[in-house]
A and B are shown apart, each in its own frame.
Chain A
Amino acid sequence: MFRNYIRIAWRNLLKRKVFTAINILGLAIGFGSSILIYLFLSYHLSFDQFHNNPDRIYRMVTEEHRDLIDYEASVPPAFSKAFRENYEYAEKVAKVVVQYGSIIDTETNGDIRKFKEDVAFIEEDFFKIFNFPLLDGSNNISLSEPNTAVITEEFAEKMFGSTLVVGKTFVLENDKAIKITGVLQNLPSTTFLKEQIFVSFVNLEDFFEFAASESWGGITSNLQCYSLLKPNQNVESIEDALLALPKEHRPDSKNKHVYKLQPLSDMHFNPLYGGIDPVLLWVFGIIGAFLLAIACINFINISTAQAFYRSKEIGVRKVLGSFKAHLFWQFLSETFVISLFAVMLGILFAALFLPSLNNLFELELSIQSLLTIEFFGFLLLVLASVAFLSGSYPGILMSRIVPVLALKGKLSHSDTGGNTTRKVLVVAQFAISIALIAATLIISRQIEYATNSDLGFDKESIVMVEVPVDLEPIQYEALKDRLQRIPNVENITFCLSSPGGSENNWGTSIKYNNRPENEEFSIQAKIGDEHFIETFDLTLVAGRNFFKSDSITEVVVNEKFGEKVGVTSPDELLGKTIEVNGASIKATIVGVVGDFHDVSFAEEIQPAFIAGNPNWYGEIGLKINRVNTKETLEKIEQHWSEAFSGYIFDYRFLDERVADEYEAEQRYLSLSKVFSALAILIGCLGLYGLILFFVGLRTKEIGIRKVLGSNVANILALFTMDFFKLILIAGILATPIAWYLMEQWLQGYAYRTEIHWWIFALAIVSIMVITLITISYQTLKVAVTSPVKSLRTE
C-alpha cells in the first residue's frame, strides 16, 4: 500500500512540474535556513560544555553601585588571593590578566619574526579549573616559575612552523625572554578563552603593575577571576559573605562594590557581563520557524487550490473503495516525498550559504559538524512536522470531496473548500513579510541615525595610531614636529583615547567646587594634549582651552558635567575646582565643551573632562586631508617606526572605529535584510503558484469578459485587486505588532530614531509592487490571449 502511495506521489509530482518545483524550492529555502539556524544555535549552546565540573565553575564579577549600577566581568586585583586564602568555599581560584596587542619576537635559524598578539598572564590553577589539555592530553602545566609560558598548537605553528617548541623562547614586549614549557591542544571555538599565549603570572608586574598588585582600589576589565567551588556550595550565602570585603577594604568609596558569582553557563549568555544577548538566539529561532511556516503555507495554498484538479482521482478512488483515511495518508505521503527532496536541496543550500553566515558572525562553523545524532533527530523532527503540518489540511480537504459531484465534473471550485483558509494564510504570509521589511527599515534608520548624526565631534579623516611605549616629553615633541611636517596632516593630538569608541570611565571619587561630599557619578577622562579639542573639533561653549602644562592644573569639562553637579549655565562652572580619583587630579575648570557621544547611542552621554598629561598618552590622532591618503599614511608609518622601533605600526580611521560600535546592529541589519528577502522570495513563489492556478481557473471568464469589451488593464486589475485587499489587511495586522516590537528594540538606545507611520506604508506598498510584478506575467499572458482561443478550449 505504502509503495503504491509513493509511486503515485512520484507520478503526480512529475505531472505538475511547475507546482512541484515551487513547493520544493520554497520548502528547501525554509529547510536550508533552519539548518543554518540550527548550526548557529547549537554552536552558541555548546559553549564551554567540555570542562570537567562545569556546574562548579564560576566567574567572579562586580556590580558597581553609584548613581547607576555598572556591571563589570571583573574584580579588584586583590580579590583572587583573598577568596583563596580567607574563605573555605573554593577548591581552586585563578585570575587571568590579558594584555592586548603585545609584541612578540621569535627567532628561528636567524629569521626574526614579529607578532602582535593578546597575551594572558595566568595564575597557575587556571588550567586545573578548566579543561585545556596539553598535546599529550595531560594538564600537567606549571607556570609558577617566572619567564615561562604555554602556547597553543596553532600559535606554535604560526610562530615557529612547528609544534615541537618546548624549550624554545620568545621575547615579550621587546623586553623579557620567555621560555615555552608546554604546547596546548588547540582551543575549541566554543570557549570563552580567546588567547593563545599564557605567561606566568609572576611576569605581569613588569607590564601591568596595577593588575599584578594586591589592590582593592579599582577594577580593570583586563582582569578576570575564576573559581572552582567545592561541591555543594550555596552561591547566595557565598555572595552574602563576600559583602564584608568591600566594607573592609573600600569603606569610604562612593563606588559600592558588590561581588557576585557568575555560573560558567551564564558567561556566554549574559549581555551585562559581555555575553551575547540570548534574545538574538530567540529571534533567530523564531525567524527560522517563520520561514518554514511561510513555506508550509505555500504548500497548503497550492495543494488546496489543486484539490479541484485532483477531484476526479479522489472521486474514483472513493468509489472504488478508498476510505477517507486512505486518501489522507496517500496525500501525506506525497507531502513527505516533496519534503524529502526539499530537505536534500535545503542541505545543499545550507552548505552553499554557510560561508556567508560564518563571514557575518566571524565564526568557523562547518557543515561536517552536522554529522551528529542530534542533528539527524532535529532534521527528522522538522521533516515530520513540516510534512504533517502542510500535508494534513489539504489531505483532510481532499478526503472530504463528494465523489458523485467530482465524477460528474460538477464540482465547482468552492466545493473543494479551503478558500477562506487560503486567504487567511496568504494574509499571514504578507503580514510576516511586511513586518520584516518594516523591521529592516527601522534598524537601518537607527544605524543611519547613530552614524550620521552629529556626534559632537569630528570623526571624518582622522587617523588613530597607537603609542606603544611611554615617551619623554621631549620625544613627544620631536615626533609631533616630524609628523606635523608631513603634507596633508592638518592637526595632531596625543591623547589617551579619541572621543567615540572608548571605555575609559575610570574617573571616580569626584569633588566639585570643594563640596564636602564626593559626587555620586563617575566621569570619563579624556586625557589629551592642548590640540585635542581642535583636532576632534569639539565645540567650546564657554571659557577657553587649557594651556600646555606638565601636569593637570586646568581642565575642560562637558555640559553634562554641569548638568550632573546641578549647574544650569556653563559659565558658572568656570574657575571652579574639580578633584578626581581622590584628589590625584586637582584642577580648575577653564572651559566647557558641548556634549559629545563618547560611547554608542545605546548609552547616555556621560560627564567628561579633558586635560593634558603626557604620562597617559596611548594614541595619536591625526587629522589629514584626504588627498594622497596612501602616501600620507606611508609617511606617518615611516616617522612612527623610527620613534618606536621594534613595534608594529597599525592604524585605524576614527569613523570606522565609531562604526564598529554598531557592529551588532549591522549584523541585525544584514540578518533582517536576508530574512526579509527570503520571506519575500518564498512568498512570491507561493503567489506565483496561486496565480497560475487562478488564471487557469478563470480562463473562460476572461474570454467572456474580453468578448464583452474589457481591456487588458481591467483584467490585470481583476486579479491584482484581490491580492491588494489581502495585503492591506496583512498590513493592518502587521503594523501594530511590528511597531510594538521595534519600539521595544529601540528602547535599548538612549538616543534613537522615531518610528513613523510611513515606514509601514512603504513596507505595504513595496509588497504590493512585488506582488504586482510576480503575478503580472501570468495575468498579462492570459489577458492578451485572443478570447476565441480561450473560449474554444472549454
Chain B
Amino acid sequence: MLLQLHNVFKWVNSGGQRIFLLKDINLQVQQGEFISIMGPSGSGKSTLLNVIGMLDGFDEGEYQFLDESVHNLKEKHRANLYKEYIGFVFQSYHLLDELTVKENLEMPLLYKKFKGSERKAMVADMLDRFNIVGKKDLFPAQLSGGQQQLVGIARALISNPKLILADEPTGNLNSKQGEEIMGLFKQLNEEGVTIIQVTHSEKNADYGSRIINLLDGRMI
C-alpha cells in the first residue's frame, strides 16, 4: 500500500463557526492506481490533494505514507518525504518563466544534490522521452499550453517519484491537447506510476481506474 488516510478532518474557524473543508476522509491508495477525485467547486478536491501531497496539514486523523506516520512528522521531515516521493502537476503548469525548458527540468535535481553530469543525463533522457529535444532552449512563453503542460509533467517525473498529484492538469488546455495529456498519464500509469488527479471532466476521469466523489468535504 502506498498511502492511507484514516478519519482525516480539516477545518477553519470563521466567525465562531467551524467550517469543515475535509470531513472524515478514509482513503487507501495502492501502488499503481490511477485515481480521479471529482466533485463540484468548493467540495474540497484540491484541499484533499494538498493534504495527500503534504503541502497542507490537517486537524484530526491519521495519514500513513509508505509506513511513515505523516501526522507525527516534523515539518522538515515531511518536506523531505514529499520531495523524495511525490511529483506535482498543476493546472496552470507553474513553469518558471525565467528558465528555459531544459533549466525548468533541471531545477528539481539541483535541490537534490545530483552531480552536473548526472543532471545532464537525466534531463536529456526526459527531453527524449517526451519528444521535446527541439524545444529545450525555449522559454515557457514560447510554448503552447499543451507543450507547457508536457514540460510540467516531465519536470514532475524527472526525479522518479512514486506518486504524481495532478490538479486539473487539462483545465487550461483545449480538448485535443487535453486528450494528449491524459493519454500520457494513462501511459505513465501503465509504466507503473501511481497517479491521483483532480478533475471536473467525466471523460478525463474515465482514464483512471477509480473515482472518488467529494461533496462538502465528505466522500460519497
CB proximity to B under 8 Å, residues A300-315: 312-313, 315
| Residue interface mask B94-135, A partner, CB < 8 A = 1 | 111111000100111011100000000000000000000000
For B96, list chain A residues within 8 Å (CB).
8, 313, 316-317
In the complex, chain B residues whose CB is within 8 Å of the CB of A320: 83, 88, 107-108, 111, 155
Which of A15, A316, A323: most chain B CB closer than 10 A? A316
Interface string of A407-448 (1 = CB under 8 A from B): 110000000000000000000000000000000000000000
**A321 engages B108 (CB within 8 Å):** yes
Interface of chain A residues 52 through 108 with chain B (CB within 8 A): none
B-side interface size class: 20 to 34
Chain B binding surface SS class:
loop
Contact A4 B55 (CB under 8 A): no
A1-B110 in contact (CB<8A)? yes
Q: State whether A326 and B111 are in contact (beta carbons under 8 Å apart), knowing that A319-B55, A407-B90 are contacts in the complex.
A: yes
- The answer, yes or no, to whether B56 is at the interface (CB within 8 Å) is yes
Distance between Cα atoms of A326 and B111 in the complex (Å)? 8
**Which of chain A's residues have a CB closer than 8 A to the CB of B98?**
8, 11-12, 15, 313
User: What chain A residues lie within 8 Å of B94 (beta carbons)?
Assistant: 312, 315-316, 319, 407
Q: How many residues of A contact B (CB 8 A)?
A: 22
Q: For the complex, is B50 an interface residue (Cβ under 8 Å from A)?
A: yes
A404 within 8 Å of B (CB atoms): yes
Chain A contacts for B95, CB-based, 8 A: 316
Q: When chains A and B are docked, how far (Å) is the Cα of A11 from the Cα of B100?
A: 11
Q: Within 8 Å CB of B111, what residues of A? A: 317, 320-323, 326
Instruction: Find residues 179-205 in chain B having any chain A CB closer than 8 Å to their own CB.
Output: none
Residue A182 CB within 8 A of the other chain: no
Closest to A8 in B: B98
Shortest distance from the beta carbon of A409 to any chain B beta carbon, whole Å: 8
Which secondary structure dominates chain A's binding surface?
helix
B55: chain A residues at CB < 8 Å are: 319, 403-404
Q: How far is the CB of A401 from chain B (nearest CB, A)?
A: 12
Q: Is B170 an interface residue (CB 8 A)?
A: no
Specify which of A11, A312, A315, A321 is in contact with B159 (CB 8 Å cutoff): A321
| Contact residues of A between 247 and 269, Cβ < 8 Å to B | none
Q: Which residue of B lies closest to A10 (CB)?
A: B98
Residues of B within 8 A of A1 (CB): 110
CB-based contact B155/A323 at 8 Å: no
CA of A21 to CA of B55, assembled, Å: 36
* Complex: chain A residue closest to B106, CB-CB: A4
Q: How far is the CA of A322 from the CA of B46 in the complex (A)?
A: 22
A317 proximity list for chain B (CB < 8 A): 96, 107, 111
Residues of A within 8 A of B83 (CB): 320-321
Kindly supply a per-residue 1/0 record for chain B positions 61-103, scoring 1 wherever the CB is within 8 Å of any chain A CB and 0 otherwise.
0000000000000000001000100001010001111110001
Report whether A404 and B50 are in contact in the complex, using a CB–CB cutoff of 8 Å.
yes
Q: Which residue of B lies closest to A316 (CB)?
A: B94
CB distance from A302 to the nearest CB of B (A): 18
Q: In the complex, A428→B181 CA distance in Å? A: 54
Give B94's nearest chain A residue, CB to CB: A316
- Nearest chain B residue, comparing its CB with the CB of A313: B96
Contact B79 A323 (CB under 8 A): yes
Please measure, in the bound complex, the distance between the C-alpha atom of A700 and the C-alpha atom of B99, giving whole angstroms.
Answer: 30
Bound form: Cα–Cα A408–B99 in Å:
21
Contact residues in B for A408 (Cβ distance below 8 Å): 46
Chain B residues within an 8 Å CB radius of A403: 55
Nearest B-chain residue to A319, judged by Cβ:
B88
* Cross-chain contact B110 with A4 (CB below 8 angstroms): yes
Cα distance A238–B96 in the bound complex, in angstroms: 76
CA distance A319 to B89 in the complex (A): 10
Distance between Cα atoms of A315 and B94 in the complex (Å): 9
| B110, A8: Cβ atoms closer than 8 Å | no
Q: Tell me how far the C-beta of B180 lies from the nearest C-beta in chain A, rounded to whole angstroms.
A: 23
Contacts of A4 in B (CB 8 A): 103, 106-107, 110
A321 neighbours in B (Cβ, 8 Å): 83, 108, 111-112, 159
Pairs across A and B, CB under 8 Å, 11 listed: A4-B110, A8-B96, A8-B98, A15-B97, A313-B96, A317-B107, A319-B88, A320-B88, A320-B107, A323-B79, A323-B111
Extra A-B contacts (16), CB below 8 Å, given A319-B88, A320-B111:
A1-B110, A11-B98, A12-B98, A312-B94, A313-B98, A316-B94, A316-B96, A317-B107, A317-B111, A319-B94, A320-B83, A320-B107, A320-B108, A323-B111, A407-B90, A407-B94
Closest 6 CB pairs of A and B: A321-B111, A11-B98, A321-B83, A320-B108, A316-B94, A404-B55
